[in-house]
Each structure stands twice: as C-alpha cells, then as structure tokens.
Structure 1
Amino acid sequence: MFAPPSTRTGDTAAHPAGVALVKRRHVDLMRVCSDACRDAR
C-alpha cells in the first residue's frame, strides 16, 4: 500500500486518520453482515 513513515512524529500524525478510517470500514462491514443475517432468516 504505502511505506511506513520514517519518523515517529509522522506516525502519530497519521494515526488518528487511520483509526477513523478503520472504524468507519468496520461499521460498514457490521451493517452488511447484519443485513445478510436478516435476509437469511
């Protein structure tokens, strides 16, 4: 994907954005799973 930042400051600066992105993707995944479970019943 992309190279990890060489400095710790860059790492901490990029961290919150990455966490937010992962959380949003996780919420989307859970919504899809719950929809699939509802359809399967």
Structure 2
Amino acid sequence: TSIKDDAFAGLPHLEYLFIENNKIESISKHAFRGLRDLIHL
C-alpha cells in the first residue's frame, strides 16, 4: 500500500488522521500537502 501525492486533497480541515495498523510501504513526498489544519498524524 502507498499514499500518493495529494491523497487527501479536498480535506483541508482534516484535523486527525489515524493510519496505524496499515501495511503502508511508501508515502509520497507531498502526500499530506494541503492539510493545513492537521493536528495529529
């Protein structure tokens, strides 16, 4: 599994993102771009 660039586009007000217990093999450099309100990853 991978998280690609702009994976969360359209969710600028997302504050909490829980991705534990996932088999993530790679995260693109700009995967979280635009998440200006993100508090907890």
TM-score relative to the length of structure 2: 0.21
**Greater fraction strand:** 2
Q: Which has the higher contact order (CA 8 A, sep 6+)?
A: 2
**Greater fraction helix:** 1
Larger radius of gyration: 1
